Amino acid sequence: MQANLATLLATIPEISLCSSADLYGGEEPGLPVLKIQGASGSAAVALQGAHLLSFIPAGGRELLWLSPKAVFAADKAIRGGIPLCMPWFGRHPEGLPAHGFARSSNWDVSEVEILGNGDIKVVLVLHDTAATQALWPHAFVFRLALTVGRELTLALSVENLSDQPAPFSQAFHSYLAVPDVTEIAISGLDGCTYVNTLLEGHPRKVQEGDLHVQSLTDRVYLNVPAKQVISHGSGQTHIVSDTHSAIVWNPWEDAAKLADVGQGNYPGFVCVERGDVLDNALTIAAGGVYRASMTLSE
C-alpha cells in the first residue's frame, strides 16, 4: 500500500482505512477499503480498482448492490458496486482480460478534502507500469475524483501521456440495488438504438418506451440522453452522465454460472452502466485527455 496514506487520512477523521474482511467478511486480510462517513452521505471504496462498494445518502437507502458472494482477492474484480471498466469495455479481440485492467489494479489516494458544503472528496490515481504497458502500450494517468454527499459523483480523467493515439472505451459499471428487477422501469432510453449482444450478429433495434427487464438482458444503448431513472418499489435511482452509452445487464438464471453472483441473487440488482463503448468508443490523441462523469442520487 502507498507509503503516505496514513498521513493523508490523518487530516480527515470522516475517512478511515478498513479491511474488506472487517466490513464484509471473507478471508483475512482482505482488501483495503476507505470508509467515508460524511454529514450528507456515506460510502465505501476499495483501493483495488478505485471501486465504489457502497453509497448511502444521509437518511436514505443503499443505492449500490454488492454481491453477498463477492470475493475480495488481489487482482480479481469485485462483484457489485461500481467497477471501472477501462481502458476497454467488454471482451478484448485478442483475449486480454475482459473490461480492462483498471478494476483489478491497485490505485493510490492522491487527495482527500472536505468541501465547503460538507461533502467529502477523495481522488484516486493509477499510473502505467510495465504490466499495464504489456496490455495497453501507453504511458497514462487515470484519475477518479469521488464526491460523497447527498449525491455521489464520479469524475474520471484519462491522460494519454504517450506519443501514440490510444484506442479507448470505458464504463462506470454500476450495480444498482433494486427490491425486484422484474418490477422496475428504466426511463431515459426511449427512442435510442440498442445493440443486443446476446443474439447472433448483435442486431440493432430501437427502444420504445421504458425498459422492463424480464429475462437475461445484455444491451448497449448508443447516444443516450444524459439522464436515466430506475423506478422501483422503494423509490427511484437517478443517473446523470456526460457519457454517450448506457449498458443494461442482468444475468438472470445465468447467475448460477457466476459463483460470485450466486443462484437466486439476480433479482436484487440491475446494472445500468454509463460510458463510451462500441460506436461511442474513441481514440485519445497523444498527449490528450478524456473526461467523463456520472452522478447517482435517489
Ligand X SMILES: O=P(O)(O)OC[C@H]1O[C@@H](O)[C@H](O)[C@@H](O)[C@@H]1O
Residues taking part in catalysis: 173, 273
Residue 77 touching ligand X (CB under 6 A): yes
Measured from the Cβ of residue 131, the count of other Cβ atoms closer than 10 Å reads 9
Among 270, 222, 280, 273, residue whose Cα is nearest residue 247: 273
Residue among 121, 138, 143, 173 that touches ligand X (CB under 6 A) = 173
Task: CB nearer to ligand X: give 42 or 48.
Answer: 48
* Ranges within 99-158 binding ligand X (CB under 6 A): 99
Quote the least distance from Cβ 235 to ligand X, whole Å: 24
Task: CB nearer to ligand X: give 9 or 256.
Answer: 256
Quote the least distance from Cβ 223 to ligand X, whole Å: 17
Quote the least distance from Cβ 115 to ligand X, whole Å: 31
Which helix (H) or strand (E) segment holds residue 283: the answer is: strand 282-284
* Ranges within 254-283 binding ligand X (CB under 6 A): 273
Contact 105, 48 (CB under 8 A): yes
Measured from the Cβ of residue 96, the count of other Cβ atoms closer than 10 Å reads 14
Q: How far apart are CA 53 and CA 44, in angstroms?
A: 5
* Ranges within 177-236 binding ligand X (CB under 6 A): 218
Task: CB nearer to ligand X: give 92 or 127.
Answer: 92
Q: How far apart are CA 1 and CA 5, in angstroms?
A: 8
Among 276, 277, 295, 147, residue whose Cα is nearest residue 228: 295
Quote the least distance from Cβ 252 to ligand X, whole Å: 11
Q: Can you read off the three cell numbers belonging to residue 263?
A: 443462484
Residue 247 touching ligand X (CB under 6 A): yes
Residues that bind ligand X (CB under 6 A): 77, 90, 98-99, 173, 218, 247, 249, 273
